[in-house]
Structure 1
Amino acid sequence: MKENKKLLFSKNYTIRWQDMDAFNHVNHTVYLIYLQECRIDWLLHYGIVMDGATRGPVIGEVTCKYLRSITHPAEICVELYFSHKIGRRVYFEHIIRDKNNPELIYTTAHVVVVWVDFTTGKSIIPPPEYDYILDETIIINN
């Protein structure tokens, strides 16, 4: 994780039984869903909906470091950090922690988001009208 990252959004989630796999822990692919839900909830907090949009963010790359298994009925806190922007890419980081024991980190992840013009299928510079959402920290404790 980069030292100069900025916390943008944090939200708690409860592990569902259906998230478990045959080994009695959360399936590794479900971690990506938790990260996605956090980013979507962050955008929805600002009223940003991509339905019918002609341009928008898509995932260009995701890397996860699985540090500990998550089991039902854990409660987790998913944090979203802004790292930096370079050209057409926006770099984010995530941490998934135990809600009741924040020192316990289950996963760290790096996500690269690329803005795309859906009519041409080509990447574009992120629109400046969205820059404001990279400046504010939102913590939702549910």
Structure 2
Amino acid sequence: MSAFERTYTARWADMDPNGHMRHSAYTDYAAQHRIELLAAGGFTLGYFAKAGLGPILFREDTRFLKEFHINEIVRVTGELAGLSPDGARWNIVHTLYKPDGRVAATVSVEGAWLDLRTRKLTTPPSEIMDLMGQLPHHESYQELVVKVKAEQG
């Protein structure tokens, strides 16, 4: 898959009293990008509800480099930074760009798939694994090694 890119316009609701985009709006745009990426691959919110499956986050880290101001165009990309062999866990790095191409922020997330019925982590269907495997790789990409806890009886 080639780079999946979306643009958004920084809204009034995204601004803070300092006259620039509030910190949590950066992560909101990254989250919207992930949802649109999955939907473009055929995995809509309706699909997830019917399948009883959902993406969850364990960690989110944002690095702020440049300000966004109201009505500026925010270009967002996402690259795979890690994937476990079974596809159950994944890392994605979103890059938010200013209109002139400068990097304004990076949002790195570590996530997994949750079985919404059992409320336990699970592996995704092969179609989702295929989509994740097609994402462009971030320069920091590493295969994820997941340690399995021994069940206590």
TM-score range (shorter-chain normalised) is 0.7 to 0.9
Pair 63,136 (structure 1): closer, same or farther in 2 beyond 3 Å: closer
Cross-structure match for 1:71: 69
Pair 8,84 (structure 1): closer, same or farther in 2 beyond 3 Å: farther
Deviations 1:48-84 (A, max 9, x none): 1233231221122111111112111211110010122
Q: Secondary structure at the match of 1:120?
A: coil
Higher relative contact order (CA 8 A, sep 6+): 1
The 8 Å contact of residues 7 and 80 in structure 1, kept in 2 or not, is answered as no
What is the distance in 2 between the residues matched to 1:70 and 1:55?
34
Structure 2: 5+ residue stretches without partners: 137-153
- 1:15 matches 2:14: no
Aligned partner of 1:33: which letter?
Answer: D
Structure with bigger strand share is 1
What is the distance in 2 between the residues matched to 1:48 and 1:126?
11
Q: Radius of gyration: which is bigger?
A: 2
Query: How many residues were matched structurally?
Result: 130
Aligned partner of 2:93: which letter?
Answer: E
Identity %: 25
The 8 Å contact of residues 80 and 135 in structure 2, kept in 1 or not, is answered as no
Cross-structure match for 2:140: none
Cross-structure match for 1:30: 25
Q: Secondary structure at the match of 1:25?
A: coil
Pair 34,64 (structure 1): closer, same or farther in 2 beyond 3 Å: same
The 8 Å contact of residues 8 and 82 in structure 1, kept in 2 or not, is answered as no
Structure with bigger helix share is 2
Cross-structure match for 1:114: 112
Cross-structure match for 2:150: none
Q: Secondary structure at the match of 2:19?
A: coil
RMSD: 1.8
Aligned partner of 1:76: which letter?
Answer: V
Q: Secondary structure at the match of 1:29?
A: helix
Cross-structure match for 1:45: 40
